[in-house]
Structure 1
Amino acid sequence: MRASLTLNFCDMSIYDNYLVVVMHEGINVLPEHNEILIEVANEYFKNQAFVYITHRINSYSVDPQIYFETAKIENLKGFAVVSNDYKAKSNAEVEKMFFNKPFGIFSELNEAVDWANELVNQ
């Protein structure tokens, strides 16, 4: 792990090819949260491809419009959702329609990590 960040709405673990984000319980993820993602991308992944992995341990909501802005991050190669919860996976299927880059849905974090590494190394 390269870095670990604790923010008022999430915890981020930053690795070489990806970052893993765990949103806090009850958060409503809004487009303005993208500003922080852009800052992290610029600081830790400048001129380097990476994948965003959201590990959905807690219950929270996402404004699907957020994906239009997230997809504009040039070096973001993909987005992964990790959850064992049926509802979270169903929501991710809807969210996927708003994102024009590779979008994976996984049950286990290690599956998402493998996918992220493959995507970045293509």
Structure 2
Amino acid sequence: MSTNFLEKSYLTTHELAIGTFRFYKQVVVGRVREGMQISMDNVLPLLALSWEAYRDTSVVYISDRKYSYSLDPTMYYEVQKLAPHITGYAWVVYNEINRKTAELEARFVQCPKAIHHTMDNALEWSVNLLENKGAN
């Protein structure tokens, strides 16, 4: 599922100070660099790119939590205001610590959300969410 979806819908990759973000047709997969401290200041460039690419369509953000980093989860409230086109949020976690962190963050996300252990599952969930919203 993921290889087919990713091959067919890839748009571009953005290397930002905070990490690597791959833009697909209605999905963004982000991998934040190890040890980063995420703030609204260093997220704004990503939000601007997201607005440019997706402002007129629904998009799901998938956080590929390969590395550990920190953020204030209340920041999700501001992100939702600045990026209302984000209609779903998923985490791919690889260990128990990242799963617990994702569970905490999920409490602050105000759109459909899910935690997965594989990228394939996160992509399947994302595509189903978008199809159910009539976004595809």
Name the TM tier (shorter chain).
Answer: over 0.9
Q: Which whole-Å CA distance do the structure 1 matches of 2:17 and 2:44 have between them?
A: 14
Equivalent residue for 1:97?
Answer: 107
Whether 1:12 and 2:21 are equivalent positions in the alignment is yes
Distance 2:102 2:90 in 1: 9
Larger proportion of helix: 2
Percentage identity across paired residues of the two chains? 25
The one-character-per-residue Cα deviations of 1:40-60 (angstroms, maximum 9, x if unpaired) are: 222111201000111011111
Aligned equivalents of 2:37 and 2:50: distance in 1? 21
Q: Distance in 1 between matches of 2:12 and 2:44?
A: 19
The correspondence for 2:97, drawn from 75, 80, 87, is 87
Query: What TM-score, normalized by structure 2, do the two folds share?
Result: 0.84
Instruction: For residue 71 of structure 1, report the CA deviation from its aligned partner.
Output: 2.0
**CA contact 1:67–1:98 (8 Å) conserved in 2:** yes
Q: Which residue in 1 is equivalent to 2:5?
A: none
Give 2:62's aligned residue.
53
Residue in structure 2 matching 1:106, options 102, 107, 116: 116
Once the two structures are superposed, the pairs formed by residues 40-79 of structure 1 within 5 Å of their partners are 40-72=49-81, 73-79=83-89
In structure 1, the gaps of 5 or more residues are: none
Secondary structure of 1:2's partner? Answer: strand
Contact persistence 1:31–1:65 (CA under 8 A): no
How many pairs were matched up?
Answer: 122
- The 5-angstrom pairing of residues 28-39 of structure 1 reads 28-39=37-48
Structure 1 length-normalised TM: 0.93
- CA–CA separation in structure 2 for the residues paired with 1:102 and 1:37: 20
- Contact in 2 for aligned 1:52/1:78 (Cα 8 Å): yes
- Tell me if 1:117 matches 2:117: no
Long gaps (5+) in structure 2: 1-9
Shift of 1:117: 1.2
RMSD after superposition: 1.2
> Are the equivalent residues in 2 in contact too, given 1:34–1:66 (CA < 8 A)?
no
The alpha carbon displacement at 1:37 in A equals 2.9
**Residue 32 of structure 1, CA deviation:** 2.2
Q: For residues 75 and 41 of structure 2, what CA distance do their matches in structure 1 show?
A: 8
